[in-house]
């Protein structure tokens, strides 16, 4: 049975994911219809619970199980190995901080603010400082700063996080206030249900008695006339009573097609602010914060490696970090640069991983008409020093090797390598000829990893 389940799983996830997670899982048996799987440690137990329960249950159902259930147990032997000195000790589960009590509007479980999404856990950078400042202003005086606050930006850049942060902040300061966070989808569904069940009065009462309404992904109002109509009235009722409204969207109001003009103009009444992709330093800071929240220690150069390669989306950034930590923990090794590179080989461009230091050395030597041996040697002539610095620079740019590893390759210590790379970086910035050389070399190497 288990091998069938594995086959099913394998078809539905990537190879790397499969090998990272499923290689060491042991079926322990079936207890009262529940499949018990043994996993290596508490960390992977949590990971399985949050990522693979559905998939495994689907696999079981696929094989005919009526009411599939799966549970996980930590295998004792490996648990001990985790405690050996020198092995990383990832936090078992990122223990959510207790969420402040949030006032329910009608039924319980409606208000679902993520306890992690607070201002404290939000890294402010040049990409999001305006949106952050606006959110803080609104949180400090709801209904009186900017109303509505409209936050837009691409997916995974922190819009939902900021909205929840306002929710937490307001609920702590004003425990009596009614706060509701809804996705535009669930607003639409509520409306459809209310219409179907003839409960429009209840629907209106509920939405119009909110003090702070957070509506996420409002771009999904596009093309939904009836929902737009109802939302228009909800908006007006709240706004007239100085109740705070915060909206998020993946684009500014003017770019939401088929949005009624009267709604669009209302969305533009308050403040419109955007969130951009974070730059390198902010990405590193976010990773650092993430590691701290999860109480795991990750070396700076690993954070930088991840931040260098995962550039677009913060959720992916966090996913990459978790993958690295998980990979190290499952293999009982310390988190370092090369472990991280291995764990992430799938999401890095293939060339970054495949390129070998010798290939790069040869290619640079070739370009300058010198021998690779000379570049590895001790010669101090300018004709050698520049190409040598370029080779170190290229290796650092195009591979995931650490400074000490590059140093070893050149029989030098890592500070010498660091100095050479810094020197070359400056030169390339100043000297347009050199900029071209670097571009050519890098292109050549990327195209034909020898
Ligand atoms: P969006 O709603 O824009 O798609 P989210 O708010 O869901 O994005 O953010 C995606 C993930 O990135 C969340 O886990 C969130 O906590 C995290 N995140 C986004 N921005 C920041 C930030 N500035 N600091 C720390 N974490 C962030
Ligand atoms: Mg969101």
User: For residue 157, how far is its CA from the centre of ligand 2 (angstroms)?
Assistant: 8
Q: Tens of pLDDT along 88-105?
A: 444 444 444 444 444 433
- What average pLDDT does the chain have? 86
User: What mean pLDDT is predicted for residues 278-288?
Assistant: 96
Q: Which comes out higher in pLDDT, residue 1 or 126?
A: 126
| Ligand 1 site-directed mutation target among 122, 216, 249, 314, most atoms within 8 Å of CB | 314
288 CB-side CA count, 13 A: 12
User: What mean pLDDT is predicted for residues 161-176?
Assistant: 96
User: For residue 10, how far is its CA from the centre of ligand 2 (angstroms)?
Assistant: 29
Percent of the chain with pLDDT over 90: 59
> Phi then psi for 248, rounded to 5 degrees?
-125, 155
The reply to whether ipTM tops 0.85 is yes
pLDDT attached to residue 346 = 67
Q: Given pLDDT bands bounded at 50, 70 and 90, which one contains residue 347?
A: low
Q: Tens of pLDDT along 64-95?
A: 666 788 999 988 763 333 333 333 444 444 44
Among all bound ligands, the one having the nearest atom to the CA of 185 is 2
Q: Is the pLDDT of residue 157 over 50?
A: yes
Tell me how far apart the alpha carbons of residues 201 and 106 are, in angstroms, rounded to a whole number: 13
Q: Which run of H or E residues covers position 128? A: none
pLDDT attached to residue 206 = 93
Best CA proximity match to 215, nearest among 251, 252, 178, 247 = 247
pLDDT attached to residue 397 = 85
pLDDT attached to residue 54 = 86
User: What mean pLDDT is predicted for residues 185-204?
Assistant: 94
Q: Which residues of 401-439 are buried (b: 16+ CB within 10 A; e: fewer)?
A: bbbebbbebbebeeeebeebbeebeebbeeeeebeebbe
> Phi then psi for 292, rounded to 5 degrees?
-65, -45
pLDDT attached to residue 449 = 42
User: For residue 160, how far is its CA from the centre of ligand 2 (angstroms)?
Assistant: 4
Q: Tens of pLDDT along 230-278?
A: 999 999 999 999 999 999 999 999 999 889 999 999 999 999 999 999 9
Q: Is the pLDDT of residue 338 over 80?
A: yes
Q: Tens of pLDDT along 18-33?
A: 877 888 888 888 777 7
């Amino acid at each position: 049975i288990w091998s069938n389940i594995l086959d099913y799983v394998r078809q539905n996830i990537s190879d790397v994911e499969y090998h990272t997670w499923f290689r060491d899982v042991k079926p322990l048996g079936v207890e009262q219809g529940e499949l018990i799987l043994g996993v290596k440690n508490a960390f992977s137990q949590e990971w399985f619970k949050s990522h693979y329960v559905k998939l495994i249950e689907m696999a079981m159902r696929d094989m005919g199980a009526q009411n599939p259930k799966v549970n996980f147990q930590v295998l004792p032997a490996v648990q001990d190995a985790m405690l050996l000195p020198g092995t990383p000790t990832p936090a078992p589960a990122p223990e959510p901080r207790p969420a402040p009590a949030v006032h329910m509007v009608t039924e319980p479980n409606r208000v679902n603010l993520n306890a992690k999404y607070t201002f404290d856990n939000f890294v402010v950078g040049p990409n999001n400082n305006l949106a952050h400042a606006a959110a803080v202003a609104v949180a400090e005086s709801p209904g009186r700063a900017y109303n509505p606050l409209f936050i837009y930006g691409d997916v995974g850049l922190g819009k939902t996080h900021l909205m929840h942060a306002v929710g937490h902040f307001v609920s702590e300061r004003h425990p009596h206030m009614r706060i509701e966070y809804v996705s535009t989808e669930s607003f639409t569904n509520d409306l459809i249900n209310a219409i179907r069940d003839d409960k429009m009065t209840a629907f209106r009462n509920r939405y119009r008695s909110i003090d702070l309404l957070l509506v996420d992904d409002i771009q999904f109002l596009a093309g939904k006339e009836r929902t737009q109509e109802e939302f228009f009235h909800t908006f007006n009722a709240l706004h007239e009573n100085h109740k705070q409204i915060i909206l998020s969207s993946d684009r500014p109001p003017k770019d939401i097609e088929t949005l009624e003009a009267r709604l669009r103009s209302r969305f533009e009444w308050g403040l419109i602010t955007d969130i951009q992709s974070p730059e390198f330093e902010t990405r590193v800071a976010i990773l650092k914060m993430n590691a701290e929240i999860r109480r795991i220690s990750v070396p700076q150069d690993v954070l930088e490696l991840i931040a260098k390669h995962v550039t677009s989306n913060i959720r992916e950034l966090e996913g990459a970090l978790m993958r690295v930590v998980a990979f190290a923990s499952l293999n009982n090794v310390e988190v370092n640069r090369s472990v991280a590179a291995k764990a992430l080989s799938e999401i890095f461009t293939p060339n970054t991983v495949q390129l070998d230091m010798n290939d790069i050395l040869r290619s640079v030597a070739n370009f300058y008409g010198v021998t690779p041996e000379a570049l590895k040697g001790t010669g101090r002539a300018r004709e050698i020093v520049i190409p040598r610095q370029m080779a170190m620079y290229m290796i650092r740019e195009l591979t995931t090797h650490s400074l000490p590893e590059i140093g070893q390759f050149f029989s030098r210590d890592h500070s010498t390598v660091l100095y050479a790379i810094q020197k070359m970086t400056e030169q390339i910035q100043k000297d347009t000829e050199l900029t071209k050389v670097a571009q050519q070399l890098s292109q050549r190497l990327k195209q034909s990893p020898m």
